[in-house]
Structure 1
Protein backbone atom coordinates (compact mmCIF):
# COMPACT_ATOMS: atom_id res chain seq x y z
CA UNK A 1 0.00 0.00 0.00
CA UNK A 2 1.36 3.41 -0.86
CA UNK A 3 2.11 5.91 1.87
CA UNK A 4 -0.50 8.42 0.68
CA UNK A 5 -3.38 5.89 0.70
CA UNK A 6 -5.48 4.57 3.57
CA UNK A 7 -7.24 1.20 3.63
CA UNK A 8 -11.01 1.57 4.14
CA UNK A 9 -12.17 -1.99 3.36
CA UNK A 10 -11.10 -5.41 2.15
CA UNK A 11 -13.38 -7.30 -0.22
CA UNK A 12 -14.61 -10.70 0.88
CA UNK A 13 -16.88 -13.21 -0.83
CA UNK A 14 -19.54 -12.55 -3.46
CA UNK A 15 -23.17 -12.21 -2.36
CA UNK A 16 -25.96 -13.08 -4.75
CA UNK A 17 -25.84 -13.00 -8.55
CA UNK A 18 -25.65 -9.28 -9.33
CA UNK A 19 -22.04 -8.60 -8.40
CA UNK A 20 -22.41 -7.66 -4.72
CA UNK A 21 -19.52 -8.46 -2.39
CA UNK A 22 -19.10 -8.53 1.37
CA UNK A 23 -16.50 -6.17 2.80
CA UNK A 24 -14.42 -6.19 5.96
CA UNK A 25 -14.58 -2.57 7.12
CA UNK A 26 -11.53 -0.54 8.05
CA UNK A 27 -13.49 2.68 8.56
CA UNK A 28 -15.85 3.88 11.26
CA UNK A 29 -17.90 5.78 8.68
CA UNK A 30 -19.18 3.31 6.08
CA UNK A 31 -22.35 5.36 5.47
CA UNK A 32 -20.23 8.36 4.46
CA UNK A 33 -17.40 6.49 2.79
CA UNK A 34 -19.45 4.13 0.60
CA UNK A 35 -21.99 6.14 -1.39
CA UNK A 36 -23.11 5.45 -4.97
CA UNK A 37 -20.84 7.21 -7.45
CA UNK A 38 -17.85 7.28 -5.07
CA UNK A 39 -14.64 6.01 -6.66
CA UNK A 40 -12.15 3.97 -4.66
CA UNK A 41 -8.63 2.97 -5.61
CA UNK A 42 -7.85 -0.73 -5.44
CA UNK A 43 -4.88 -2.84 -4.45
CA UNK A 44 -5.01 -6.42 -5.70
CA UNK A 45 -2.67 -9.25 -6.59
CA UNK A 46 -0.64 -8.57 -9.76
CA UNK A 47 -2.29 -10.10 -12.81
CA UNK A 48 -5.68 -10.42 -11.10
CA UNK A 49 -7.39 -8.19 -13.64
CA UNK A 50 -8.97 -6.04 -10.91
CA UNK A 51 -9.50 -2.46 -12.16
CA UNK A 52 -7.27 0.21 -10.57
CA UNK A 53 -10.43 2.07 -9.49
CA UNK A 54 -13.94 0.89 -8.70
CA UNK A 55 -17.09 3.04 -8.72
CA UNK A 56 -19.71 2.18 -6.10
CA UNK A 57 -23.04 1.24 -7.70
CA UNK A 58 -24.87 0.37 -4.47
CA UNK A 59 -24.26 -0.26 -0.81
CA UNK A 60 -26.28 -1.76 2.00
CA UNK A 61 -26.06 -3.28 5.43
CA UNK A 62 -27.29 -6.88 5.31
CA UNK A 63 -27.72 -8.31 8.83
CA UNK A 64 -24.62 -6.47 10.08
CA UNK A 65 -22.49 -7.21 7.00
CA UNK A 66 -21.77 -4.44 4.52
CA UNK A 67 -22.43 -5.31 0.89
CA UNK A 68 -21.06 -3.24 -1.99
CA UNK A 69 -21.67 -3.44 -5.74
CA UNK A 70 -19.54 -1.69 -8.35
CA UNK A 71 -20.36 -0.24 -11.77
CA UNK A 72 -17.47 -2.18 -13.30
CA UNK A 73 -18.59 -5.57 -11.91
CA UNK A 74 -21.95 -6.74 -13.32
CA UNK A 75 -22.22 -10.28 -11.97
CA UNK A 76 -21.12 -12.91 -9.45
CA UNK A 77 -18.28 -14.14 -11.68
CA UNK A 78 -16.71 -10.69 -11.71
CA UNK A 79 -17.34 -10.32 -7.97
CA UNK A 80 -15.47 -13.57 -7.28
CA UNK A 81 -12.39 -12.06 -8.92
CA UNK A 82 -12.40 -9.18 -6.43
CA UNK A 83 -11.91 -11.40 -3.37
CA UNK A 84 -9.05 -10.05 -1.20
CA UNK A 85 -8.87 -6.69 -3.00
CA UNK A 86 -8.17 -3.72 -0.76
CA UNK A 87 -10.22 -0.54 -1.21
CA UNK A 88 -8.21 2.63 -0.62
CA UNK A 89 -8.77 6.37 -0.30
CA UNK A 90 -6.36 9.26 -0.55
CA UNK A 91 -4.94 10.12 2.87
CA UNK A 92 -6.05 13.74 2.27
CA UNK A 93 -9.69 12.54 2.15
CA UNK A 94 -9.48 10.89 5.60
CA UNK A 95 -11.54 12.18 8.48
CA UNK A 96 -10.11 12.90 11.93
CA UNK A 97 -11.34 9.48 13.16
CA UNK A 98 -9.56 7.72 10.30
CA UNK A 99 -6.38 9.74 10.79
CA UNK A 100 -6.28 8.77 14.47
CA UNK A 101 -7.08 5.10 13.75
CA UNK A 102 -4.52 2.33 13.55
CA UNK A 103 -4.64 0.26 10.40
CA UNK A 104 -3.47 -3.33 10.01
CA UNK A 105 -0.50 -2.24 7.87
CA UNK A 106 0.60 0.10 10.68
CA UNK A 107 0.42 -2.63 13.32
CA UNK A 108 1.83 -5.78 11.70
CA UNK A 109 5.45 -6.30 12.74
CA UNK A 110 5.31 -4.16 15.88
CA UNK A 111 6.88 -5.60 19.03
CA UNK A 112 4.43 -6.48 21.77
CA UNK A 113 5.60 -5.58 25.27
CA UNK A 114 4.06 -6.21 28.67
CA UNK A 115 3.38 -3.46 31.21
CA UNK A 116 6.99 -3.61 32.46
CA UNK A 117 8.45 -3.25 28.95
CA UNK A 118 9.53 -6.88 28.39
CA UNK A 119 9.05 -8.14 24.82
CA UNK A 120 6.36 -10.83 24.77
CA UNK A 121 5.72 -11.17 21.04
CA UNK A 122 5.00 -9.50 17.71
CA UNK A 123 1.79 -8.32 16.03
CA UNK A 124 0.99 -10.52 13.03
CA UNK A 125 -2.46 -9.21 12.12
CA UNK A 126 -5.63 -7.37 13.01
CA UNK A 127 -8.90 -9.29 13.14
CA UNK A 128 -11.83 -6.93 12.70
CA UNK A 129 -14.94 -7.94 14.57
CA UNK A 130 -18.49 -6.65 14.67
CA UNK A 131 -18.25 -5.81 18.37
CA UNK A 132 -14.51 -5.38 18.83
CA UNK A 133 -11.26 -5.67 16.90
CA UNK A 134 -8.51 -8.03 18.06
CA UNK A 135 -4.76 -7.90 17.60
CA UNK A 136 -3.31 -11.18 16.40
CA UNK A 137 -0.07 -11.70 18.32
CA UNK A 138 2.60 -14.40 18.01
CA UNK A 139 4.09 -14.77 21.48
CA UNK A 140 7.81 -15.44 21.94
CA UNK A 141 7.02 -19.13 22.64
CA UNK A 142 5.34 -19.42 19.21
CA UNK A 143 1.73 -19.48 20.43
CA UNK A 144 -0.63 -17.23 18.45
CA UNK A 145 -3.22 -15.36 20.52
CA UNK A 146 -5.88 -12.74 19.95
CA UNK A 147 -5.90 -9.68 22.17
CA UNK A 148 -8.96 -7.40 22.38
CA UNK A 149 -7.81 -4.11 20.80
CA UNK A 150 -9.27 -1.89 23.51
CA UNK A 151 -7.51 0.81 25.49
CA UNK A 152 -7.83 -1.05 28.79
CA UNK A 153 -5.75 -3.96 27.43
CA UNK A 154 -3.68 -2.17 24.76
CA UNK A 155 -3.06 1.22 26.40
CA UNK A 156 -0.08 2.22 24.22
CA UNK A 157 0.55 2.05 20.49
CA UNK A 158 3.72 3.67 19.13
CA UNK A 159 5.60 3.50 15.85
CA UNK A 160 7.69 0.53 17.01
CA UNK A 161 5.69 -1.31 19.69
CA UNK A 162 2.40 -1.86 21.48
CA UNK A 163 1.93 -2.44 25.18
CA UNK A 164 -0.44 -5.24 26.17
CA UNK A 165 -1.66 -5.44 29.76
CA UNK A 166 -3.35 -8.82 29.51
CA UNK A 167 -5.86 -9.88 32.13
CA UNK A 168 -4.79 -13.02 34.03
CA UNK A 169 -5.40 -16.15 31.99
CA UNK A 170 -5.93 -14.45 28.60
CA UNK A 171 -2.97 -16.18 26.94
CA UNK A 172 -3.74 -19.49 28.69
CA UNK A 173 -6.89 -19.77 26.56
CA UNK A 174 -4.65 -20.51 23.56
CA UNK A 175 -2.36 -23.09 25.16
CA UNK A 176 -2.90 -26.81 25.34
CA UNK A 177 -3.99 -27.99 28.80
CA UNK A 178 -0.97 -29.03 30.84
CA UNK A 179 1.47 -27.27 28.52
Structure 2
Protein backbone atom coordinates (compact mmCIF):
# COMPACT_ATOMS: atom_id res chain seq x y z
CA UNK A 1 0.00 0.00 0.00
CA UNK A 2 1.17 3.52 -0.79
CA UNK A 3 0.43 6.58 1.32
CA UNK A 4 -1.82 8.91 -0.69
CA UNK A 5 -2.93 11.48 1.87
CA UNK A 6 -3.88 12.45 5.38
CA UNK A 7 -7.18 13.49 6.92
CA UNK A 8 -6.62 16.90 8.46
CA UNK A 9 -9.93 17.96 10.01
CA UNK A 10 -13.69 18.03 9.55
CA UNK A 11 -15.25 20.67 7.31
CA UNK A 12 -18.80 21.68 8.09
CA UNK A 13 -21.39 19.65 9.96
CA UNK A 14 -22.33 16.87 7.51
CA UNK A 15 -19.15 14.74 7.63
CA UNK A 16 -17.08 16.35 4.88
CA UNK A 17 -13.36 16.31 5.74
CA UNK A 18 -10.24 18.14 4.59
CA UNK A 19 -7.71 15.79 2.97
CA UNK A 20 -4.11 16.74 2.18
CA UNK A 21 -3.00 14.57 -0.74
CA UNK A 22 0.64 13.52 -1.08
CA UNK A 23 0.06 12.37 -4.66
CA UNK A 24 -0.76 14.22 -7.86
CA UNK A 25 -3.05 11.37 -8.94
CA UNK A 26 -6.50 12.86 -8.39
CA UNK A 27 -8.21 9.56 -9.23
CA UNK A 28 -7.35 8.63 -5.64
CA UNK A 29 -10.27 10.82 -4.49
CA UNK A 30 -12.74 10.23 -7.31
CA UNK A 31 -16.16 8.87 -6.30
CA UNK A 32 -16.03 5.14 -5.65
CA UNK A 33 -12.35 5.06 -4.72
CA UNK A 34 -11.55 3.03 -1.62
CA UNK A 35 -8.86 4.33 0.69
CA UNK A 36 -7.36 2.29 3.52
CA UNK A 37 -6.29 3.30 7.00
CA UNK A 38 -5.31 1.46 10.18
CA UNK A 39 -8.94 1.20 11.28
CA UNK A 40 -10.40 -0.05 8.00
CA UNK A 41 -11.48 1.49 4.71
CA UNK A 42 -13.23 4.62 3.52
CA UNK A 43 -15.16 4.92 0.25
CA UNK A 44 -15.14 8.31 -1.50
CA UNK A 45 -18.66 9.61 -2.23
CA UNK A 46 -17.53 12.99 -3.55
CA UNK A 47 -14.53 15.31 -3.56
CA UNK A 48 -13.65 18.79 -4.68
CA UNK A 49 -10.50 20.91 -4.66
CA UNK A 50 -10.25 23.47 -1.87
CA UNK A 51 -7.18 25.73 -1.77
CA UNK A 52 -4.23 23.28 -1.91
CA UNK A 53 -6.27 20.41 -0.43
CA UNK A 54 -9.45 18.47 -1.14
CA UNK A 55 -12.79 18.38 0.61
CA UNK A 56 -13.90 14.77 0.64
CA UNK A 57 -17.15 13.12 1.64
CA UNK A 58 -16.82 9.44 2.58
CA UNK A 59 -19.73 7.00 2.64
CA UNK A 60 -18.77 5.95 6.19
CA UNK A 61 -18.66 9.50 7.62
CA UNK A 62 -21.87 11.49 8.03
CA UNK A 63 -21.26 13.80 11.01
CA UNK A 64 -18.69 16.35 12.07
CA UNK A 65 -17.91 14.18 15.11
CA UNK A 66 -17.12 11.17 12.93
CA UNK A 67 -14.88 13.35 10.76
CA UNK A 68 -13.14 14.76 13.82
CA UNK A 69 -12.45 11.24 15.10
CA UNK A 70 -10.47 10.60 11.89
CA UNK A 71 -8.24 13.66 12.33
CA UNK A 72 -4.64 12.79 11.43
CA UNK A 73 -5.47 9.41 9.85
CA UNK A 74 -3.07 8.39 7.08
CA UNK A 75 -4.82 7.21 3.90
CA UNK A 76 -3.27 4.50 1.71
CA UNK A 77 -4.14 2.73 -1.52
CA UNK A 78 -2.64 0.04 -3.74
CA UNK A 79 -0.18 1.18 -6.44
CA UNK A 80 -1.79 2.23 -9.72
CA UNK A 81 -0.88 0.35 -12.87
CA UNK A 82 0.95 3.01 -14.89
CA UNK A 83 3.60 1.85 -17.35
CA UNK A 84 4.74 5.43 -18.01
CA UNK A 85 5.27 6.43 -14.38
CA UNK A 86 7.90 5.85 -11.74
CA UNK A 87 6.96 5.01 -8.17
CA UNK A 88 9.07 6.15 -5.25
CA UNK A 89 9.12 2.66 -3.73
CA UNK A 90 10.62 1.35 -7.01
CA UNK A 91 13.32 4.03 -7.13
CA UNK A 92 14.56 4.13 -3.54
CA UNK A 93 17.33 1.58 -3.07
CA UNK A 94 18.03 1.23 -6.80
CA UNK A 95 21.58 1.60 -8.11
CA UNK A 96 22.04 4.47 -10.58
CA UNK A 97 24.35 3.83 -13.52
CA UNK A 98 25.20 6.45 -16.15
CA UNK A 99 24.83 5.50 -19.80
CA UNK A 100 28.63 5.03 -20.01
CA UNK A 101 28.33 2.18 -17.47
CA UNK A 102 29.73 4.00 -14.44
CA UNK A 103 27.95 3.34 -11.14
CA UNK A 104 26.83 6.64 -9.61
CA UNK A 105 25.34 5.49 -6.32
CA UNK A 106 22.17 4.27 -4.68
CA UNK A 107 18.95 6.28 -4.54
CA UNK A 108 18.36 7.29 -0.90
CA UNK A 109 15.16 9.26 -1.52
CA UNK A 110 13.14 11.15 -4.08
CA UNK A 111 12.85 14.88 -3.53
CA UNK A 112 9.81 16.77 -4.78
CA UNK A 113 10.79 19.65 -7.04
CA UNK A 114 8.55 22.04 -9.02
CA UNK A 115 10.12 21.24 -12.40
CA UNK A 116 10.85 17.51 -11.98
CA UNK A 117 11.33 15.27 -8.98
CA UNK A 118 14.97 14.56 -8.11
CA UNK A 119 16.70 11.30 -7.26
CA UNK A 120 18.81 11.93 -4.15
CA UNK A 121 21.83 9.65 -4.30
CA UNK A 122 24.11 8.62 -1.47
CA UNK A 123 26.77 11.32 -1.33
CA UNK A 124 24.25 14.05 -2.13
CA UNK A 125 24.11 13.99 -5.94
CA UNK A 126 20.75 15.11 -7.35
CA UNK A 127 19.53 13.65 -10.64
CA UNK A 128 16.27 14.83 -12.26
CA UNK A 129 13.98 11.87 -13.00
CA UNK A 130 13.71 13.12 -16.59
CA UNK A 131 17.29 11.84 -17.08
CA UNK A 132 16.17 8.23 -16.53
CA UNK A 133 16.46 6.30 -19.80
CA UNK A 134 15.94 2.78 -18.50
CA UNK A 135 14.61 1.17 -15.36
CA UNK A 136 14.01 0.62 -12.71
CA UNK A 137 14.78 -2.97 -13.72
CA UNK A 138 16.21 -5.47 -11.25
CA UNK A 139 17.22 -2.67 -8.87
CA UNK A 140 19.09 -0.70 -11.53
CA UNK A 141 18.34 2.68 -13.12
CA UNK A 142 20.22 3.96 -16.17
CA UNK A 143 20.51 7.72 -16.59
CA UNK A 144 21.72 9.95 -19.42
CA UNK A 145 23.09 13.12 -17.81
CA UNK A 146 24.80 16.25 -19.14
CA UNK A 147 28.59 16.34 -18.89
CA UNK A 148 29.77 17.57 -15.51
CA UNK A 149 26.64 16.73 -13.49
CA UNK A 150 28.51 14.33 -11.22
CA UNK A 151 31.74 16.40 -11.09
CA UNK A 152 30.34 18.43 -8.19
CA UNK A 153 30.04 15.29 -6.09
CA UNK A 154 33.36 13.61 -6.96
Tell me the TM-score normalized by structure 1: 0.61
SS of the equivalent of 2:22 reads strand
Unaligned runs of 5+ in 2: 12-16
Q: Which structure's residues are more often strand, by fraction? A: 2
Q: Does the alignment pair 1:38 with 2:21?
A: no
1:79 maps to 71
Aligned length: 143
In the alignment, the residues of structure 1 paired with residue 7 and residue 29 of structure 2 have an alpha-carbon distance, to the nearest angstrom, of 18
2:54 maps to 67
2:132 maps to 154
Q: Does the alignment pair 1:120 with 2:104?
A: yes
1:20 maps to 18
Tell me the TM-score normalized by structure 2: 0.69
Check the 8 A contact 1:56/1:70 in 2, yes or no.
yes
2:4 maps to which of 10, 14, 22 = 10
Compare CA radii of gyration and give the structure with the larger one. Answer: 2
- Do the aligned partners of residues 127 and 26 (structure 1) sit closer, same or farther apart at CA in structure 2, a change above 3 Å counting? farther
When the two chains are superposed, the root-mean-square deviation of aligned CA atoms in Å is 3.2
Unaligned runs of 5+ in 1: 2-6, 43-49
Q: Does the alignment pair 1:88 with 2:77?
A: yes
Cα shift readout 1:64-107 (whole Å, capped 9, x = no counterpart): x3425353564456232x2xx35213x6xx55xx2442211112
